[in-house]
Chain A
Protein backbone atom coordinates (compact mmCIF):
# COMPACT_ATOMS: atom_id res chain seq x y z
CA UNK A 1 0.00 0.00 0.00
CA UNK A 2 2.72 2.36 1.10
CA UNK A 3 4.84 1.39 -1.85
CA UNK A 4 2.04 2.15 -4.28
CA UNK A 5 1.57 5.55 -2.71
CA UNK A 6 5.27 6.20 -3.10
CA UNK A 7 5.29 5.17 -6.75
CA UNK A 8 2.23 7.31 -7.36
CA UNK A 9 3.82 10.31 -5.69
CA UNK A 10 7.05 9.98 -7.65
CA UNK A 11 5.12 9.62 -10.88
CA UNK A 12 2.98 12.67 -10.17
CA UNK A 13 6.03 14.71 -9.26
CA UNK A 14 7.59 13.64 -12.54
CA UNK A 15 4.53 14.71 -14.51
CA UNK A 16 4.49 18.06 -12.70
CA UNK A 17 8.10 18.61 -13.67
CA UNK A 18 7.47 17.71 -17.30
CA UNK A 19 4.48 20.04 -17.45
CA UNK A 20 6.36 22.85 -15.76
CA UNK A 21 9.31 22.40 -18.10
CA UNK A 22 7.13 22.34 -21.20
CA UNK A 23 5.46 25.56 -20.14
CA UNK A 24 8.85 27.12 -19.43
CA UNK A 25 10.17 26.06 -22.84
CA UNK A 26 7.14 27.43 -24.68
CA UNK A 27 7.22 30.75 -22.86
CA UNK A 28 10.97 31.11 -23.41
CA UNK A 29 10.78 30.29 -27.11
CA UNK A 30 7.92 32.71 -27.63
CA UNK A 31 10.05 35.42 -26.02
CA UNK A 32 12.80 34.64 -28.55
CA UNK A 33 10.54 36.03 -31.26
CA UNK A 34 9.36 39.22 -29.59
CA UNK A 35 11.41 42.36 -28.92
CA UNK A 36 13.14 43.83 -27.02
CA UNK A 37 16.30 41.85 -27.73
CA UNK A 38 19.44 42.17 -25.65
CA UNK A 39 22.14 42.00 -28.29
CA UNK A 40 25.00 42.84 -25.96
CA UNK A 41 24.06 40.01 -23.59
CA UNK A 42 23.53 37.60 -26.48
CA UNK A 43 26.98 38.42 -27.83
CA UNK A 44 28.51 37.86 -24.41
CA UNK A 45 26.86 34.45 -24.12
CA UNK A 46 27.99 33.54 -27.64
CA UNK A 47 31.57 34.26 -26.72
CA UNK A 48 31.21 32.35 -23.47
CA UNK A 49 29.75 29.28 -25.19
CA UNK A 50 31.45 29.40 -28.57
CA UNK A 51 34.91 30.73 -27.90
CA UNK A 52 35.68 29.51 -24.40
CA UNK A 53 34.46 25.98 -25.11
CA UNK A 54 36.90 25.58 -27.99
CA UNK A 55 39.76 24.06 -25.96
CA UNK A 56 37.58 21.44 -24.28
CA UNK A 57 35.76 20.49 -27.46
CA UNK A 58 38.97 20.53 -29.51
CA UNK A 59 40.78 18.21 -27.12
CA UNK A 60 37.84 15.83 -26.98
CA UNK A 61 37.60 15.78 -30.77
CA UNK A 62 41.26 15.16 -31.53
CA UNK A 63 41.55 12.19 -29.20
CA UNK A 64 38.26 10.77 -30.40
CA UNK A 65 39.39 11.00 -34.03
CA UNK A 66 42.67 9.31 -33.17
CA UNK A 67 41.12 6.49 -31.18
CA UNK A 68 38.55 5.90 -33.92
CA UNK A 69 41.33 5.47 -36.44
CA UNK A 70 43.30 3.20 -34.14
CA UNK A 71 40.35 0.93 -33.34
CA UNK A 72 39.21 0.70 -36.95
CA UNK A 73 42.62 -0.13 -38.35
CA UNK A 74 42.94 -3.23 -36.17
CA UNK A 75 39.69 -4.60 -37.58
CA UNK A 76 40.51 -4.52 -41.30
CA UNK A 77 43.05 -6.20 -43.54
CA UNK A 78 45.99 -4.08 -44.55
CA UNK A 79 44.66 -3.50 -48.06
CA UNK A 80 41.21 -2.23 -47.13
CA UNK A 81 42.50 -0.34 -44.15
CA UNK A 82 43.22 3.11 -45.57
CA UNK A 83 39.82 3.67 -47.12
CA UNK A 84 37.84 2.15 -44.24
CA UNK A 85 39.70 4.06 -41.55
CA UNK A 86 39.12 7.33 -43.38
CA UNK A 87 35.48 6.45 -43.86
CA UNK A 88 34.77 5.43 -40.28
CA UNK A 89 36.49 8.54 -38.92
CA UNK A 90 34.62 10.86 -41.29
CA UNK A 91 31.25 9.21 -40.71
CA UNK A 92 31.69 8.71 -37.00
CA UNK A 93 32.81 12.25 -36.30
CA UNK A 94 30.28 14.12 -38.43
CA UNK A 95 27.23 11.99 -37.73
CA UNK A 96 27.56 10.91 -34.11
CA UNK A 97 30.63 11.59 -32.07
CA UNK A 98 31.11 15.22 -33.01
CA UNK A 99 27.66 16.40 -31.92
CA UNK A 100 27.22 14.00 -29.01
CA UNK A 101 30.61 14.48 -27.40
CA UNK A 102 30.65 18.24 -27.96
CA UNK A 103 27.10 18.34 -26.58
CA UNK A 104 28.04 16.42 -23.46
CA UNK A 105 31.17 18.50 -22.84
CA UNK A 106 29.27 21.76 -23.29
CA UNK A 107 26.45 20.48 -21.09
CA UNK A 108 28.99 20.03 -18.31
CA UNK A 109 30.65 23.36 -18.88
CA UNK A 110 27.85 25.69 -19.88
CA UNK A 111 24.70 24.03 -18.57
CA UNK A 112 26.19 23.98 -15.10
CA UNK A 113 27.35 27.58 -15.30
CA UNK A 114 23.93 28.77 -16.47
CA UNK A 115 22.08 26.95 -13.72
CA UNK A 116 24.50 28.22 -11.08
CA UNK A 117 24.42 31.83 -12.25
CA UNK A 118 20.67 32.11 -12.72
CA UNK A 119 20.04 30.02 -9.60
CA UNK A 120 22.15 32.37 -7.49
CA UNK A 121 20.30 35.32 -8.97
CA UNK A 122 17.03 33.64 -8.12
CA UNK A 123 17.79 32.86 -4.49
CA UNK A 124 19.30 36.30 -3.84
CA UNK A 125 16.16 37.95 -5.29
CA UNK A 126 18.02 39.43 -8.25
CA UNK A 127 15.45 37.86 -10.56
CA UNK A 128 12.70 39.60 -8.57
CA UNK A 129 14.68 42.83 -8.81
CA UNK A 130 14.73 42.49 -12.61
CA UNK A 131 10.93 42.35 -12.61
CA UNK A 132 10.65 45.46 -10.46
CA UNK A 133 12.95 47.31 -12.87
CA UNK A 134 10.52 46.56 -15.72
CA UNK A 135 12.81 43.96 -17.24
CA UNK A 136 11.51 40.54 -18.12
CA UNK A 137 13.94 37.89 -16.82
CA UNK A 138 12.99 35.59 -19.67
CA UNK A 139 14.14 38.15 -22.18
CA UNK A 140 17.10 39.35 -20.16
CA UNK A 141 18.46 36.04 -18.88
CA UNK A 142 16.94 33.14 -20.81
CA UNK A 143 16.62 34.29 -24.43
CA UNK A 144 20.28 35.32 -24.91
CA UNK A 145 21.40 31.94 -23.60
CA UNK A 146 18.99 30.00 -25.81
CA UNK A 147 20.06 31.87 -28.92
CA UNK A 148 23.73 31.54 -28.08
CA UNK A 149 23.34 27.82 -27.35
CA UNK A 150 21.47 27.01 -30.54
CA UNK A 151 23.82 28.98 -32.78
CA UNK A 152 27.19 28.32 -31.19
CA UNK A 153 26.98 24.57 -30.77
CA UNK A 154 26.78 23.89 -34.53
CA UNK A 155 29.90 26.01 -35.00
CA UNK A 156 31.67 24.13 -32.24
CA UNK A 157 30.66 20.82 -33.80
CA UNK A 158 31.92 21.96 -37.18
CA UNK A 159 35.27 22.67 -35.56
CA UNK A 160 35.11 19.33 -33.73
CA UNK A 161 34.45 17.52 -37.02
CA UNK A 162 37.48 19.09 -38.64
CA UNK A 163 39.75 18.50 -35.65
CA UNK A 164 38.51 14.93 -35.25
CA UNK A 165 39.17 14.10 -38.88
CA UNK A 166 42.53 15.75 -38.56
CA UNK A 167 43.22 13.53 -35.53
CA UNK A 168 42.44 10.45 -37.61
CA UNK A 169 44.66 11.75 -40.39
CA UNK A 170 47.60 12.36 -38.05
CA UNK A 171 47.34 8.90 -36.52
CA UNK A 172 46.78 7.24 -39.90
CA UNK A 173 49.75 8.86 -41.60
CA UNK A 174 52.22 8.63 -38.75
CA UNK A 175 51.39 5.46 -36.87
CA UNK A 176 49.52 3.36 -39.42
CA UNK A 177 51.68 4.35 -42.37
CA UNK A 178 48.92 5.49 -44.73
CA UNK A 179 49.81 7.84 -47.56
CA UNK A 180 48.85 11.43 -46.94
CA UNK A 181 47.25 11.91 -50.32
CA UNK A 182 45.37 8.62 -50.18
CA UNK A 183 43.90 9.33 -46.75
CA UNK A 184 42.70 12.79 -47.68
CA UNK A 185 41.09 11.70 -50.91
CA UNK A 186 39.42 8.75 -49.15
CA UNK A 187 38.05 11.19 -46.56
CA UNK A 188 36.64 13.44 -49.28
CA UNK A 189 35.04 10.46 -50.99
CA UNK A 190 33.23 9.38 -47.85
CA UNK A 191 32.22 12.76 -46.44
CA UNK A 192 28.58 13.21 -47.30
CA UNK A 193 26.42 16.27 -47.12
CA UNK A 194 23.59 14.61 -45.22
CA UNK A 195 26.01 13.29 -42.60
CA UNK A 196 27.44 16.73 -41.88
CA UNK A 197 24.07 18.45 -41.96
CA UNK A 198 22.46 15.90 -39.66
CA UNK A 199 25.34 16.39 -37.23
CA UNK A 200 24.99 20.17 -37.26
CA UNK A 201 21.22 19.93 -36.84
CA UNK A 202 21.73 17.70 -33.85
CA UNK A 203 24.17 20.24 -32.50
CA UNK A 204 21.64 23.06 -32.74
CA UNK A 205 19.05 20.97 -30.93
CA UNK A 206 21.53 19.95 -28.25
CA UNK A 207 22.62 23.54 -27.76
CA UNK A 208 19.02 24.57 -27.25
CA UNK A 209 18.43 21.70 -24.83
CA UNK A 210 21.53 22.54 -22.79
CA UNK A 211 20.52 26.20 -22.46
CA UNK A 212 16.89 25.35 -21.71
CA UNK A 213 17.90 22.92 -18.97
CA UNK A 214 20.42 25.30 -17.47
CA UNK A 215 17.95 28.19 -17.40
CA UNK A 216 14.99 26.09 -16.28
CA UNK A 217 16.78 24.57 -13.31
CA UNK A 218 18.35 27.91 -12.47
CA UNK A 219 15.12 29.85 -12.48
CA UNK A 220 13.29 27.20 -10.48
CA UNK A 221 15.96 26.75 -7.85
CA UNK A 222 15.06 27.63 -4.30
CA UNK A 223 16.51 27.62 -0.84
CA UNK A 224 20.02 29.04 -0.86
CA UNK A 225 23.35 27.48 -1.75
CA UNK A 226 22.12 23.93 -1.44
CA UNK A 227 19.28 24.60 -3.85
CA UNK A 228 21.65 26.13 -6.36
CA UNK A 229 23.94 23.10 -6.08
CA UNK A 230 21.04 20.79 -6.74
CA UNK A 231 19.90 22.90 -9.70
CA UNK A 232 23.38 22.69 -11.20
CA UNK A 233 23.54 18.91 -10.92
CA UNK A 234 20.02 18.51 -12.30
CA UNK A 235 20.78 20.79 -15.23
CA UNK A 236 23.81 18.75 -16.28
CA UNK A 237 22.25 15.33 -15.71
CA UNK A 238 18.97 16.13 -17.46
CA UNK A 239 20.69 17.83 -20.39
CA UNK A 240 23.06 14.85 -20.84
CA UNK A 241 20.24 12.31 -20.77
CA UNK A 242 18.15 14.36 -23.18
CA UNK A 243 21.11 14.71 -25.53
CA UNK A 244 21.57 10.93 -25.73
CA UNK A 245 17.85 10.36 -26.10
CA UNK A 246 17.32 13.04 -28.75
CA UNK A 247 20.41 11.83 -30.58
CA UNK A 248 18.64 8.54 -31.15
CA UNK A 249 15.40 10.22 -32.19
CA UNK A 250 17.16 12.57 -34.62
CA UNK A 251 19.24 9.76 -36.14
CA UNK A 252 16.04 7.84 -36.70
CA UNK A 253 14.48 10.87 -38.37
CA UNK A 254 17.44 11.50 -40.66
CA UNK A 255 18.47 8.02 -41.67
CA UNK A 256 15.63 5.59 -41.09
Chain B
Protein backbone atom coordinates (compact mmCIF):
# COMPACT_ATOMS: atom_id res chain seq x y z
CA UNK B 1 0.00 0.00 0.00
CA UNK B 2 1.47 3.35 -0.99
CA UNK B 3 -1.06 5.66 0.59
CA UNK B 4 0.65 8.80 1.82
CA UNK B 5 -2.37 10.18 3.61
CA UNK B 6 -5.37 8.25 4.83
CA UNK B 7 -8.41 9.64 6.60
CA UNK B 8 -10.95 7.26 8.07
CA UNK B 9 -14.29 8.26 9.45
CA UNK B 10 -13.16 11.72 10.51
CA UNK B 11 -15.82 13.83 12.18
CA UNK B 12 -15.69 17.36 13.46
CA UNK B 13 -18.37 19.61 14.89
CA UNK B 14 -18.14 23.20 16.02
CA UNK B 15 -20.70 23.54 18.77
CA UNK B 16 -23.92 22.21 17.35
CA UNK B 17 -22.74 22.50 13.77
CA UNK B 18 -21.41 19.32 12.19
CA UNK B 19 -18.84 20.12 9.53
CA UNK B 20 -17.19 16.77 8.86
CA UNK B 21 -19.34 13.70 9.31
CA UNK B 22 -17.46 10.46 8.86
CA UNK B 23 -15.17 11.62 6.09
CA UNK B 24 -12.82 9.10 4.51
CA UNK B 25 -10.17 9.88 1.97
CA UNK B 26 -6.82 8.65 0.79
CA UNK B 27 -4.04 10.12 -1.31
CA UNK B 28 -1.38 7.97 -2.89
CA UNK B 29 2.28 8.89 -2.85
CA UNK B 30 3.19 11.32 -5.62
CA UNK B 31 -0.42 11.85 -6.51
CA UNK B 32 -2.32 15.10 -6.79
CA UNK B 33 -5.80 15.02 -5.34
CA UNK B 34 -8.12 17.97 -5.71
CA UNK B 35 -11.05 18.44 -3.37
CA UNK B 36 -14.00 20.35 -4.74
CA UNK B 37 -17.12 21.33 -2.89
CA UNK B 38 -19.37 24.23 -2.05
CA UNK B 39 -18.37 27.16 0.09
CA UNK B 40 -18.46 26.26 3.76
CA UNK B 41 -18.57 22.53 3.11
CA UNK B 42 -15.49 21.97 5.28
CA UNK B 43 -12.66 21.74 2.78
CA UNK B 44 -10.31 24.01 4.73
CA UNK B 45 -11.29 22.26 7.95
CA UNK B 46 -10.26 18.94 6.37
CA UNK B 47 -6.77 20.24 5.61
CA UNK B 48 -6.43 21.73 9.07
CA UNK B 49 -7.43 18.43 10.66
CA UNK B 50 -4.66 16.64 8.77
CA UNK B 51 -2.15 19.26 9.85
CA UNK B 52 -3.36 19.03 13.44
CA UNK B 53 -4.41 22.68 13.64
CA UNK B 54 -7.93 21.46 14.38
CA UNK B 55 -8.48 18.32 16.43
CA UNK B 56 -11.09 16.01 14.96
CA UNK B 57 -13.74 14.68 17.34
CA UNK B 58 -13.51 11.16 15.95
CA UNK B 59 -11.68 9.17 13.34
CA UNK B 60 -8.18 8.34 12.30
CA UNK B 61 -5.69 10.29 10.18
CA UNK B 62 -2.57 8.47 9.02
CA UNK B 63 0.47 9.90 7.26
CA UNK B 64 2.78 7.26 5.80
CA UNK B 65 0.76 4.69 7.70
CA UNK B 66 1.39 6.38 11.07
CA UNK B 67 -1.48 7.63 13.16
CA UNK B 68 -1.19 11.39 13.66
CA UNK B 69 -4.24 12.13 15.80
CA UNK B 70 -3.00 12.89 19.30
CA UNK B 71 0.69 13.35 18.44
CA UNK B 72 2.69 15.30 20.99
CA UNK B 73 4.00 18.76 20.20
CA UNK B 74 7.49 17.70 19.24
CA UNK B 75 6.43 14.72 17.12
CA UNK B 76 3.84 16.92 15.45
CA UNK B 77 6.52 19.51 14.63
CA UNK B 78 8.70 16.79 13.13
CA UNK B 79 5.80 15.57 11.02
CA UNK B 80 4.93 19.10 9.89
CA UNK B 81 8.48 19.76 8.74
CA UNK B 82 7.64 17.50 5.79
CA UNK B 83 4.55 19.52 4.93
CA UNK B 84 4.02 22.75 3.04
CA UNK B 85 0.78 24.67 3.31
CA UNK B 86 -0.64 27.52 1.30
CA UNK B 87 -3.40 29.10 3.36
CA UNK B 88 -6.58 30.34 1.77
CA UNK B 89 -5.89 33.88 3.03
CA UNK B 90 -2.11 33.56 2.44
CA UNK B 91 -1.48 34.13 6.20
CA UNK B 92 1.84 35.88 5.61
CA UNK B 93 3.66 37.19 8.68
CA UNK B 94 3.10 40.89 8.36
CA UNK B 95 5.91 41.85 10.71
CA UNK B 96 8.49 40.26 8.40
CA UNK B 97 9.58 41.29 4.91
CA UNK B 98 8.57 39.05 2.01
CA UNK B 99 11.91 37.26 1.71
CA UNK B 100 11.90 36.34 5.40
CA UNK B 101 8.40 34.99 5.01
CA UNK B 102 9.56 32.73 2.21
CA UNK B 103 12.75 31.77 4.05
CA UNK B 104 10.99 31.21 7.39
CA UNK B 105 10.85 27.43 7.17
CA UNK B 106 14.47 27.31 6.05
CA UNK B 107 15.75 29.53 8.86
CA UNK B 108 13.56 28.39 11.77
CA UNK B 109 12.75 24.86 10.68
CA UNK B 110 15.98 23.69 9.05
CA UNK B 111 18.46 26.04 10.71
CA UNK B 112 19.91 27.34 7.45
CA UNK B 113 21.94 30.56 7.70
CA UNK B 114 20.06 33.75 6.93
CA UNK B 115 22.23 34.71 3.99
CA UNK B 116 21.90 31.39 2.23
CA UNK B 117 18.22 31.20 3.09
CA UNK B 118 17.76 34.60 1.52
CA UNK B 119 19.28 33.45 -1.77
CA UNK B 120 17.02 30.44 -1.80
CA UNK B 121 14.03 32.65 -1.01
CA UNK B 122 14.85 34.87 -3.99
CA UNK B 123 15.07 31.79 -6.23
CA UNK B 124 11.73 30.54 -5.00
CA UNK B 125 10.17 33.97 -5.51
CA UNK B 126 11.42 33.90 -9.09
CA UNK B 127 9.67 30.56 -9.58
CA UNK B 128 6.34 32.16 -8.73
CA UNK B 129 7.03 35.10 -11.02
CA UNK B 130 8.14 37.67 -8.46
CA UNK B 131 11.35 39.69 -8.78
CA UNK B 132 14.04 39.97 -6.13
CA UNK B 133 12.95 43.56 -5.38
CA UNK B 134 9.65 42.24 -4.03
CA UNK B 135 11.63 40.43 -1.35
CA UNK B 136 12.26 43.62 0.57
CA UNK B 137 8.64 44.74 0.65
CA UNK B 138 6.27 43.93 3.48
CA UNK B 139 3.18 41.77 2.90
CA UNK B 140 0.84 44.74 3.43
CA UNK B 141 2.48 46.45 0.44
CA UNK B 142 1.49 43.64 -1.95
CA UNK B 143 -1.69 43.07 -3.95
CA UNK B 144 -3.87 40.12 -3.00
CA UNK B 145 -2.62 38.06 -5.92
CA UNK B 146 1.00 38.79 -5.08
CA UNK B 147 0.39 37.76 -1.47
CA UNK B 148 -1.01 34.49 -2.73
CA UNK B 149 2.12 33.86 -4.78
CA UNK B 150 4.36 34.68 -1.81
CA UNK B 151 2.30 32.23 0.24
CA UNK B 152 2.88 29.65 -2.47
CA UNK B 153 6.61 30.37 -2.46
CA UNK B 154 6.66 29.94 1.31
CA UNK B 155 4.84 26.62 1.02
CA UNK B 156 7.32 25.14 -1.45
CA UNK B 157 10.55 26.78 -0.24
CA UNK B 158 11.47 23.91 2.06
CA UNK B 159 10.88 21.37 -0.75
CA UNK B 160 8.34 19.41 1.29
CA UNK B 161 7.10 15.92 0.50
CA UNK B 162 3.48 16.82 1.01
CA UNK B 163 1.98 20.13 -0.04
CA UNK B 164 -1.51 21.47 0.62
CA UNK B 165 -2.87 24.24 -1.54
CA UNK B 166 -6.00 25.94 -0.24
CA UNK B 167 -7.46 27.72 -3.25
CA UNK B 168 -4.17 28.56 -4.94
CA UNK B 169 -5.69 30.42 -7.88
CA UNK B 170 -8.56 32.42 -6.40
CA UNK B 171 -7.88 36.11 -6.75
CA UNK B 172 -5.39 35.72 -9.58
CA UNK B 173 -5.85 36.85 -13.15
CA UNK B 174 -6.37 33.99 -15.64
CA UNK B 175 -2.82 34.10 -16.95
CA UNK B 176 -1.21 34.05 -13.53
CA UNK B 177 -3.67 31.37 -12.48
CA UNK B 178 -2.38 29.22 -15.30
CA UNK B 179 1.22 29.94 -14.33
CA UNK B 180 0.44 28.79 -10.81
CA UNK B 181 -1.30 25.67 -12.12
CA UNK B 182 1.82 24.84 -14.14
CA UNK B 183 3.95 25.47 -11.12
CA UNK B 184 1.92 23.09 -8.99
CA UNK B 185 2.16 20.42 -11.67
CA UNK B 186 5.89 21.02 -11.86
CA UNK B 187 6.31 20.81 -8.06
CA UNK B 188 4.66 17.45 -8.01
CA UNK B 189 6.91 16.24 -10.80
CA UNK B 190 10.20 17.75 -9.60
CA UNK B 191 9.84 17.15 -5.90
CA UNK B 192 7.85 13.99 -6.29
CA UNK B 193 5.52 15.70 -3.86
CA UNK B 194 2.13 14.47 -2.87
CA UNK B 195 -0.38 17.30 -3.08
CA UNK B 196 -3.83 17.92 -1.79
CA UNK B 197 -5.48 20.99 -3.26
CA UNK B 198 -8.75 22.77 -2.82
CA UNK B 199 -10.26 24.76 -5.60
CA UNK B 200 -13.52 26.07 -7.00
CA UNK B 201 -11.96 26.65 -10.35
CA UNK B 202 -12.72 23.65 -12.57
CA UNK B 203 -10.15 24.51 -15.22
CA UNK B 204 -7.52 24.63 -12.51
CA UNK B 205 -8.80 21.36 -11.06
CA UNK B 206 -8.61 19.51 -14.36
CA UNK B 207 -5.12 20.83 -14.92
CA UNK B 208 -3.53 19.90 -11.61
CA UNK B 209 -5.55 16.89 -10.51
CA UNK B 210 -4.79 13.22 -10.97
CA UNK B 211 -7.92 12.50 -9.02
CA UNK B 212 -10.81 14.64 -7.88
CA UNK B 213 -13.00 14.20 -4.83
CA UNK B 214 -16.14 16.07 -3.97
CA UNK B 215 -17.04 17.01 -0.42
CA UNK B 216 -20.70 17.47 0.43
CA UNK B 217 -22.37 17.53 3.83
CA UNK B 218 -19.30 16.35 5.65
CA UNK B 219 -18.35 13.36 3.51
CA UNK B 220 -16.87 12.50 0.15
CA UNK B 221 -19.76 11.83 -2.17
CA UNK B 222 -17.66 11.12 -5.23
CA UNK B 223 -14.08 10.34 -6.05
CA UNK B 224 -12.50 9.42 -9.34
CA UNK B 225 -9.89 10.16 -11.99
CA UNK B 226 -9.81 13.82 -13.02
CA UNK B 227 -11.12 13.25 -16.53
CA UNK B 228 -14.22 11.46 -15.28
CA UNK B 229 -15.45 14.48 -13.37
CA UNK B 230 -17.30 15.88 -16.39
CA UNK B 231 -19.44 12.77 -16.77
CA UNK B 232 -19.41 11.31 -13.34
CA UNK B 233 -23.03 10.18 -13.44
CA UNK B 234 -23.46 11.82 -10.04
CA UNK B 235 -26.07 14.57 -10.02
CA UNK B 236 -24.36 16.53 -7.27
CA UNK B 237 -20.99 16.52 -9.03
CA UNK B 238 -22.64 17.33 -12.32
CA UNK B 239 -24.38 20.34 -10.86
CA UNK B 240 -21.19 21.58 -9.24
CA UNK B 241 -18.81 21.23 -12.18
CA UNK B 242 -21.27 22.79 -14.58
CA UNK B 243 -22.11 25.53 -12.10
CA UNK B 244 -25.88 25.26 -12.25
CA UNK B 245 -28.16 26.86 -9.69
CA UNK B 246 -30.76 24.11 -10.18
CA UNK B 247 -30.09 20.62 -8.98
CA UNK B 248 -29.93 18.46 -5.90
CA UNK B 249 -27.57 20.86 -4.06
CA UNK B 250 -29.58 23.60 -2.41
CA UNK B 251 -27.30 26.44 -1.43
CA UNK B 252 -28.10 27.63 2.05
CA UNK B 253 -28.69 31.31 1.51
CA UNK B 254 -28.99 31.89 5.20
CA UNK B 255 -25.87 30.84 7.06
In contact, B77 and A136 (Cβ under 8 angstroms): yes
Digitize A127-143: 1 where CB-to-B-CB distance is under 8 Å, 0 elsewhere.
Answer: 01111111110001000
Assembly CA distance A126 to B91 (angstroms): 5
In contact, B51 and A135 (Cβ under 8 angstroms): no
In contact, A132 and B73 (Cβ under 8 angstroms): no
Cβ-based interface call for B141 (8 A): no
Whether A133 touches B104, Cβ cut-off 8 Å, given contacts A126-B93, A128-B48, is yes
- Stretch of B80-88, B201-209, B231-239, B245-253 lying at the A interface: B80-88
**Chain B residue with the shortest CB-CB distance to A135:** B108
Which residues of B sit under 8 angstroms from A125, Cβ to Cβ?
A: 87-89, 91
Cβ-based interface call for A124 (8 A): yes
Other than A134-B78, A135-B109, give 14 A-B pairs with Cβ distance below 8 A.
A125-B89, A126-B91, A126-B92, A126-B93, A129-B87, A130-B93, A131-B77, A131-B80, A132-B80, A133-B154, A134-B77, A134-B108, A134-B109, A135-B108
Whether A124 touches B77, Cβ cut-off 8 Å, given contacts A131-B53, A132-B51, A134-B109, is no
* Chain B: minimal CB distance from A34 (Å): 10
In contact, B77 and A126 (Cβ under 8 angstroms): no
The answer, among A126, A128, A135, for a CB contact under 8 Å with B94, is: A126
In contact, A134 and B105 (Cβ under 8 angstroms): yes
**Chain B residue with the shortest CB-CB distance to A34:** B74
Interface residues of A in 108-132 (CB under 8 A from B): 117, 120-121, 124-126, 128-132
Residues of A within 8 A of B (CB): 117, 120-121, 124-126, 128-136, 140
Whether A132 touches B108, Cβ cut-off 8 Å, given contacts A124-B91, A125-B91, is no
Which residues of A sit under 8 angstroms from B77, Cβ to Cβ?
A: 131, 134, 136
Which residues of B sit under 8 angstroms from A126, Cβ to Cβ?
A: 91-94
In contact, A134 and B87 (Cβ under 8 angstroms): no
**Chain A residue with the shortest CB-CB distance to B157:** A133
Question: Chain B CB within 10 Å — which of A129, A131, A133, A134 has the most?
Answer: A133
The answer, among B48, B80, B93, B94, for a CB contact under 8 Å with A134, is: B80
Question: Can you list 29 pairs linking A and B with CB atoms under 8 Å apart?
Answer: A121-B93, A124-B89, A124-B91, A125-B87, A125-B89, A125-B91, A126-B92, A126-B93, A128-B48, A128-B53, A128-B87, A128-B91, A129-B87, A129-B91, A131-B51, A131-B53, A131-B76, A131-B77, A131-B80, A132-B80, A132-B83, A132-B84, A133-B104, A133-B108, A133-B109, A133-B154, A134-B78, A134-B80, A135-B104
Assembly CA distance A126 to B104 (angstroms): 12
Assembly CA distance A117 to B96 (angstroms): 13
**Chain A residue with the shortest CB-CB distance to B87:** A125
Question: Chain B CB within 10 Å — which of A124, A125, A135 has the most?
Answer: A125
Whether A133 touches B89, Cβ cut-off 8 Å, given contacts A126-B94, A128-B48, A128-B53, is no
Which residues of A sit under 8 angstroms from B154, Cβ to Cβ?
A: 133
Assembly CA distance A193 to B85 (angstroms): 56
Assembly CA distance A134 to B77 (angstroms): 5
Which residues of B sit under 8 angstroms from A129, Cβ to Cβ?
A: 85, 87, 91-93
The 8 closest A-B pairs by CB, nearest first: A125-B91, A134-B109, A129-B91, A132-B85, A133-B105, A134-B81, A135-B108, A134-B77
Which residues of A sit under 8 angstroms from B94, Cβ to Cβ?
A: 120, 124, 126
